[in-house]
Structure 1
Amino acid sequence: MASPPCKMTAQLAFKAGGDVFHRIFTINPQHLVRAAPTKILGCNIRHGSFQTVGSVIEWIYYLDGKQRTCLQLIESVDEEKRRVAFKFITGDLLQRYKNFVLAFQVETRAEKDYIIWTVDYELLDAALPHPISVLKFVIELTVEIEAHIFG
């Protein structure tokens, strides 16, 4: 039996600038191959463009020690809130989860930028594990991007 909708979030201070982070994902996500080579192996547009809702991106990445591939639909882009949501439409994760959406938002509070990652999902079977490794992945990805920016 499937689980009810679930949500996990993580928040990280990002000293390299939230606008920089947002631009990498919306304008130039291919740069992630250089910024986080231990996580991202490839990023290709399959349909549309990187900034456009409804576009499809292919990601080649490492998760849980394995190389994986997925297609993500850009579900929403909110430039004002600096928020982007990606819905998984193919890939290994959909063998365990349905309606899997990964989103980030940049928030500025007290002159500090924070990256807030959200994972919305449903387990296909309530006995399956929650996607904690995905949340760990995006936390580590964020840290690697910041380290790359600071050189």
Structure 2
Amino acid sequence: MAGLADKLIAQVAFKAGGDVFHHLMAKNPNHFAKVCSSKVQACELQQGQFGTTGSVIQWKYVLEGKESIAKQVIEVDEEKKQVTYKMIGGDLLELYKNMVITNHVETKGGIDFITWTIDYERSMQIIHTQLQS
């Protein structure tokens, strides 16, 4: 059964510098828990090496008061200052058939911007179940 595909995009200026953000997300996502500990408890390396395409990481986070996990394969593009996370396991895949989260840094007028893009496909079976309740 096919799903319902959609995309969310958000962009914010990042005063600390885009290089700092990219380095944090690509090579040290485990430090992200220190930056926003109320939402993210940990980022653990499951396979490979932080900052290396094909590596697998697992996030532990709180969403709507519930402890959750997200397991992802990462792809790092240093030239574009881009990190892509393809969801391969975790709580979000109970609601979504597919999910890919990308962040990249770009500079406009001397200001660094972080753009987050979330491509997702909602499972039609889940939508059908929700409509019946």
TM-score with structure 2 setting the length: 0.89
Query: Higher Cα Rg: structure 1 or 2?
Result: 2
CA offset digits 1:37-64 (Å, max 9, x no partner): 0111011101001111111001101112
Q: Which amino acid aligns with 2:64?
A: D
1:132 alignment counterpart: none
CA offset digits 1:86-137 (Å, max 9, x no partner): 0111111101112211110111000001110000111102738xxxxxxxxx
> What are the within-5 Å matches in structure 2 for residues 33-72 of structure 1?
33-72=33-72
2:76 alignment counterpart: 77
- SS of residue paired to 2:43: strand
Superposed CA RMSD: 1.5
Q: Which amino acid aligns with 1:119?
A: I
Q: Which runs of 5+ in 1 are unaligned?
A: 129-151
User: Aligned equivalents of 1:90 and 1:100: distance in 2?
Assistant: 10
Q: Which amino acid aligns with 2:56?
A: V
Q: Report runs of 4+ in structure 1 exceeding 4 Å deviation.
A: none
* Superposed displacement of residue 65, structure 1: 1.9
> What are the within-5 Å matches in structure 2 for residues 1-151 of structure 1?
2-74=2-74, 76-125=75-124, 127=127
User: Aligned equivalents of 1:65 and 1:17: distance in 2?
Assistant: 31
User: Aligned equivalents of 1:67 and 1:116: distance in 2?
Assistant: 26
